[in-house]
């Protein structure tokens, strides 16, 4: 990823945090008032996994991808892995909250997580398309 791309990616992450941060905070505050103890800690852990997991995984992929020859494969495996991390963190969050997530105030806490996951998947899908295009044009020009 170029320096400009990294800056745009960071700005998009910051924009999502600003856009959905208040909603997530209010939902977590409501959860704290309703539940206490271990269940709240479990819900917060699920929220952290769901929200920050795809971003952390994306950062790791971008650090490792520079050293690999088959970059497209890492971007391809990122996509289902990020979706899985977001969903499993959400399941843990709802289990800790003791709700199903359907039409509950706690469900708004995961809007930011969903937006982060969507952003990271879109960025890595674009990177996958660019890498496959490069690979195809290299083979056509050499072959």
Give me the percent of the chain exceeding a pLDDT of 70: 92
Instruction: Say yes or no to pLDDT of 64 above 80.
Output: yes
Say if residue 55's pLDDT is above 90: yes
Mean residue pLDDT of the chain comes to: 85
Residue 120 has pLDDT above 70, yes or no: yes
Q: How far is CA 128 from CA 39, 74, 91, 131, 134, in A?
A: 39, 9, 28, 5, 10
pTM above 0.75, yes or no: yes
The pLDDT assigned to 1 comes to: 76
Quick one: pLDDT band at residue 44, thresholds 50, 70, 90?
Answer: confident
């Amino acid at each position: 990823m170029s320096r400009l791309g990294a800056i745009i990616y960071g700005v998009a992450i910051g924009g999502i945090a600003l856009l959905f941060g208040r909603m997530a905070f209010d939902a977590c505050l409501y959860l704290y008032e309703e539940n206490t103890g271990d269940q709240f800690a479990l819900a917060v852990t699920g929220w952290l996994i769901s929200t920050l997991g795809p971003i952390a995984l994306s950062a790791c992929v971008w650090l490792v991808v520079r050293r690999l020859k088959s970059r497209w494969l890492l971007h391809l495996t990122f996509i289902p892995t990020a979706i899985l991390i977001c969903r499993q963190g959400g399941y843990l969050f709802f289990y800790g909250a003791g709700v199903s997530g359907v039409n509950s105030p706690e469900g708004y806490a995961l809007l930011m997580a969903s937006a982060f996951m969507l952003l990271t998947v879109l960025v890595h899908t674009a990177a996958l398309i660019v890498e496959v295009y490069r690979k195809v044009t290299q083979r056509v020009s050499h072959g």
